[in-house]
Structure 1
C-alpha cells in the first residue's frame, strides 16, 4: 500500500504535543515511524507492539526509541510517567476501555493521542473515496520515481468493530472531557489531557 492513512496524520498529531513534553509511550508502534518522529522532537520514547515481527523490523531500523514487545492492554504500564501516550490505528485491536490504562500512565498535563479506526460509514467517508484514490496514485508515482525498495511487511490488520458514535459515547464515559474529531480516510482523533 503506497499511501499510508496513518502516516498522513503524523503532522497533525505532532501539533498536539504538549509544549514541554519529554517522555512518550507509543502503543502499537509497528515499525516505529511515529515513535522515531517523537524521538526526533527530543522525546524519550518507549514504543510497544504485541507483534514480534513488527518489533524486529523497528529495531533493525533503529532511530532512538526503546522498542519492546508487549500487549498494552495487559502489560504493566508505569503510573503518571508519560507526557504523551500515542496510539495510532491500534486501539481497535484491544478493548476500548484500555484507554483508561493509557490515561493512568500520563503525567499531570500529559496528552493522550489516539488516531483510531471506526466501523461503518458516514457521509464524510464518501469524500474519502476520491481523495484516497488521488493520494494513492500520487504516492505510487512518487515511489516509482524514487525507485524505493519493497515495503516492510505490514502490521496485522483487523477490522474495527465500534462505530464512530460508539467511540464518542465510550470516550465521554471513560475519559470525561476527551474530544473525538472525525478525520478523512476512515479515522478519528481522540485527544485527552490529564489535568
Structure 2
C-alpha cells in the first residue's frame, strides 16, 4: 500500500479501534491490581492508597492489611470508596491530597496518580512515609518521547480491543461517554521518571505494560 492510501486508511483504522474499545471496555488499572497483590510487604500493619478512585483497590487491600487509608482529592470518588468499603471497618476514606498525609505506612499504592503530582515533592515524601521494608507500587502513565515509547503505544493501540473482547466479550450497547473520574494527560516522560527516581528512590524497578501503562516498585531500605 502506498503512503497516500495508507494515510487515507489510518483514520478508519483508528475509528474502528475506538469503537471496539468502547463496546468492549476494560480497566487498564484494575487489571494490574493482581501485580500489586503478588508483591505486598511482609509486614502489613497499614497501607496508603493515594488516589483511591472508586475504592476497588482499597477494598482488596483491606483483606491484606490491618489498616487502609484511602485518599483522593475528588469528594465523589471518596464517597464511592466509603460506600464500597462500608463493610470493612479497617478502611478510612478521606478527602485529602498526598501532601496532607502524615504517618508511617508499610505500603503505598498510586494508580494513575503519580503524573498528577510534583515529583520533586512526592518522591521524598514517599521515602519519609514508608516504614523500613515498606513498599511503593505505582501504576503509571508517561508522555511518549522515543521511538520505543511510540512502538509500545502502537502495540497497545492494537492489543487494546483484542484484550477488551477477551475480557468483556458481550458488547456494550450504549457505551458511556467521558471518564468516571478526573483525568490528566501525562507531561513527564518515562526517562524523566527514571531520572527522578534515581535521585530520590534509587533502586526502583520499572516495567513497561500494555494499555499505555508502566509499573514501578520500590522497597524502603532499613534505617
TM-score range, shorter chain: 0.7 to 0.9
| Preserved CA contact (<8 Å) 1:103 1:112 | no
How far off its partner does 1:94 sit? Answer: 1.3
**Matched residue, 1:113:** 137
| Preserved CA contact (<8 Å) 1:111 1:193 | yes
Q: Which runs of 5+ in 1 are unaligned?
A: none
- 1:35 and 2:58 matched: yes
Any runs of at least 4 consecutive aligned residues in structure 1 with deviations exceeding 6 A, and if so which?
none
User: How far apart in 2 are the matches of 1:35 and 1:99?
Assistant: 21
**Matched residue, 1:85:** 108
Cα deviation code 1:19-40 (max 9, x no counterpart): 2322100000011111111112
Alpha-carbon spacing, 1:104–1:130, altered in 2? closer, same or farther (3 Å): same
- 1:23 and 2:66 matched: no
User: How far apart in 1 are the matches of 2:62 and 2:39?
Assistant: 15
Q: Secondary structure at the match of 1:40?
A: coil
Which structure has greater helix proportion? 2
User: How far apart in 2 are the matches of 1:50 and 1:19?
Assistant: 29
Larger Rg: 2
Q: Secondary structure at the match of 2:180?
A: coil
| Preserved CA contact (<8 Å) 1:5 1:185 | yes
How far off its partner does 1:170 sit? Answer: 1.0
| Preserved CA contact (<8 Å) 1:77 1:101 | no
Cα deviation code 1:145-186 (max 9, x no counterpart): xx9xx89x7110100001111111111111111122211111
How far off its partner does 1:99 sit? Answer: 2.1
Alpha-carbon spacing, 1:52–1:180, altered in 2? closer, same or farther (3 Å): same
Q: Which runs of 5+ in 2 are unaligned?
A: 1-21
> What is the aligned length?
187
Alpha-carbon spacing, 1:20–1:133, altered in 2? closer, same or farther (3 Å): same
| Preserved CA contact (<8 Å) 1:26 1:35 | yes
**Matched residue, 1:102:** 126
Alpha-carbon spacing, 1:112–1:92, altered in 2? closer, same or farther (3 Å): same
- 1:11 and 2:11 matched: no
Q: Secondary structure at the match of 1:46?
A: strand
Bigger mean CA deviation after superposition, 9-18 or 95-104: 95-104
User: How far apart in 1 are the matches of 2:143 and 2:84?
Assistant: 32
Equivalent of residue 172 in structure 1, options 168, 193, 198: 198
TM-score of the pair, normalised by structure 2: 0.77
